[in-house]
Structure 1
Amino acid sequence: MESNGDRLFRLPFKLPNSATARSIGVYISGGLYAVGAWLFLDAVIYSKKANASSVHVTFVDWIPFLCSTLGMIIVNSIEKNRLIQDALASGSFSGSSSMAWQARLVLFLGFALLAGGLSGSIVVLIIKFLIKDFTTYPTLGMGVNNVVGNFCVVLSCVILWIAQNVEDEYSYSLTL
């Protein structure tokens, strides 16, 4: 029997190996993106087919979701190794190469698109639905679906970033 000093957690959790953790993270991320896209498309279809109010989903409502999706694509196309390639060799982040700085800049732009998409959906909710006093739920639900859908995309991006950058147990860095 192990003593409490030998375990990481107080309860006996078994952590999955890295390949399983990566697969689980990718599936959760895909599911979150699907839920976010479904919520947004549900609002779009409701606006077009069943909405009886004067408020409809227009291109302005699409912009935050498109920004979030583009930000997710950009963020998850950057390799973690590109971000820290010279930091390991020199021992600090001050003497990084132009490749590492380019990767960091592109990563920043991707996260800026994600944040802009999420905040843009909140702004659309406030300006289009709350200020104009459309507080009945089927109409207000279009704005809420936009915000929740964008939040799911951002959360999906973060989970996919973490899952993609989990180290394999059997991977070795063979850089010279």
Structure 2
Amino acid sequence: MAKNLSMVVVKLTLRIFALANWTFLDAAILSAHAHAPYEEPQVPPPVHVSFVDWLPGICSLLGMIVINLIDKDRVQGHEDFGDARAVWRARLFLFIGFALMAGGLAGSVTVLVLKYILHHYTEQYTYYGYANVSQNVALMLSAIVLWISQSVSTEYEYTLSI
């Protein structure tokens, strides 16, 4: 029964991860194919998705990878790993992973506000910023679901400690 639960959690995580990246990819494709209004063909689109928009997602993705590569038993110090500083290093890398994810979310909100909202673009162009924020939120949610699923020992028991 626990294997069925873990498969459900993995499928849920993959769907959240895919939704996150497809949302931002949709905004990037829309931005690449944006054209001038038909009434004013000489006016170019005011804004496009650039490398600055990609950076928060890259930071969140790296943070998610770092968080889920760390063994939870090593962070809690349950097993003897031979090195006395192994627990400290695991916690440091876990902190770096969470810092990357928090930085990615903060960066996406900053890009949304500074690049899209303050310039009062239409809803067509502010969608690029909202897609960036939703990508980072979904990546964080996906990492949290994977982190919690690592602590499932039986179907009805969850250990929510770090």
TM beyond 0.5: yes
User: After the TM superposition, which residues 38-57 of structure 1 pair with which residues of structure 2 at under 5 Å, given as runs?
Assistant: 38-52=22-36, 53-57=45-49
Q: Which amino acid aligns with 2:134?
A: V
CA RMSD of aligned residues (A): 1.8
Match status 1:159 vs 2:145: yes
Q: Shift of the alpha carbon at 1:97?
A: 3.0
Q: Percent identity?
A: 42
> After TM superposition, which residue ranges in structure 1, 4 or more long, deviate above 4 angstroms?
none
Q: Shift of the alpha carbon at 1:164?
A: 2.6
**Number of aligned residues:** 145
2:109 corresponds in structure 1 to: 122
- Of structures 1 and 2, the larger Rg is shown by 1
> Structure 2: 5+ residue runs without aligned partners?
37-44, 156-162
**1:31-65, CA deviations, whole angstroms, 9 ceiling, x for partnerless residues?**
00100000010111111112542100110000000
1:102 corresponds in structure 2 to: 89
CA distance in 1, matches of 2:35, 2:26: 12
User: After the TM superposition, which residues 1-176 of structure 1 pair with which residues of structure 2 at under 5 Å, given as runs?
Assistant: 17-52=1-36, 53-85=45-77, 97-134=84-121, 136-167=122-153
DSSP-derived class of the 1:167 partner: coil
TM-score, scaled to structure 1: 0.77
CA distance in 1, matches of 2:14, 2:56: 19
CA distance in 2, matches of 1:156, 1:112: 16
DSSP-derived class of the 1:76 partner: helix
Q: Shift of the alpha carbon at 1:165?
A: 2.9
TM-score, scaled to structure 2: 0.83
